[in-house]
């Protein structure tokens, strides 16, 4: 039954190990303080869209790993 709910979208849970980054956390706080009442999914879509727009302009964020 849980599998069916996941397919339909009724049982939304974060994937294991997935965490909010600072943009998601800041947007969530602004949403709560401003009383906008956006769902978690709507917040994710907005922050992901904004992140994509910034990356189109500046290029993808690349992490430098030192050895």
| Count: domains in the chain | 1
Judge if pTM exceeds 0.75.
no
Residue 52 belongs to some domain of the structure: yes
Question: Is the residue at 40 inside a domain?
Answer: yes
In whole angstroms, give the CA distance from residue 22 to residue 19.
Answer: 10
pLDDT of residue 11: 44
Range of the domain at 45: 20-58
List, in order, residues 6 or more apart from 31 with CB less than 8 Å away.
Answer: 37, 38, 43
Q: What is residue 38's predicted lDDT score, i.e. its pLDDT?
A: 94
The distance of Cα 59 from the centroid of its chain, to the nearest Å, equals 19
Q: Is residue 6 part of a domain?
A: no
Q: What local confidence, expressed as pLDDT, does residue 12 receive?
A: 47
In a structure prediction context, what are the per-residue pLDDT tens digits for the chain, which is 67 residues long? 555 454 444 444 555 556 778 889 999 999 999 999 999 999 999 999 998 998 898 887 666 555 5
């Amino acid at each position: 039954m849980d599998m069916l709910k996941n397919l339909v979208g009724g049982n939304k849970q974060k994937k294991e190990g997935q965490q909010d980054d600072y943009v998601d956390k800041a947007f969530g706080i602004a949403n709560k303080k401003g009383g906008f009442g956006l769902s978690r999914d709507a917040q994710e879509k907005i922050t992901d869209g904004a992140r994509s727009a910034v990356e189109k302009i500046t290029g993808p964020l690349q992490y430098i790993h030192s050895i």
